[in-house]
Structure 1
Amino acid sequence: MSAVVLRRIDPDRNMARFYRLDVQPDLFGGWSFIREWGRIGRPGQVRSTPYPSPAEAMVALQRQRQAKEQRGYLEQQSGEKI
């Protein structure tokens, strides 16, 4: 699966943030919804939440994506660097 990378940049507020969302299999047969966020150009914080199926993890990803897009985050275009 491909990660979703969202960015929010507002030079007037000195804001340059990223939010990366991904679903990956774990070592125990389950699935993990992985979120990483922080300031662009710096290492971010990472949180992983386990789910029993990829469908449930994708629902969580879509829910989080929608919440971030409502706050002004936009999807990063392919080829752009964080």
Structure 2
Amino acid sequence: MIAQPYQLYVERTDRTRNMSRFYAMSIEPNLFGEACLMRRWGRIGAKGQTMIHHFEREQDAVKLFLDLTRKKRNRGYCTPSGSSR
């Protein structure tokens, strides 16, 4: 059981470099009660790629979630303005 919801959706755009990217993450339980960190990324408007990490302990999933969040913020990703995601 996941103690609290973890969700993130950020974007990075740069018109001069024709860059329009998104990055989304969430921690959700699987059928066996394990915590899964689900990651999705790609060009805004496209399906993108998906990766799922399985963890026995929720703390490990949260640690990776926070590490990836920090890295994305440092690379210029931010919450889209005017969005309720």
Structure 2 length-normalised TM? 0.85
Once the two structures are TM-superposed, the CA of residue 2 in structure 1 deviates from its matched residue by 4.6
Partners of 1:75 and 1:29 lie apart in 2 by 30
Unaligned runs of 5+ in 1: none
**What's the CA shift string for 1:2-57, capped at 9, x where partnerless?**
52001000011000000001100011110101110000001010000001122221
Please point out which of 6, 10, 13 is paired with 2:14: 10
Normalization by structure 1: what TM-score? Answer: 0.88
- Deviating beyond 3 angstroms after TM superposition, the runs of 4 or more aligned structure 1 residues are none
Structure 1 counterpart of 2:75? 71
Aligned residue pair count: 80
The one-letter code matched in structure 2 to 1:44 is: G
Provide the identity percentage: 32
Q: CA RMSD in A?
A: 1.4
List alignment gaps of at least 5 residues for structure 2: none
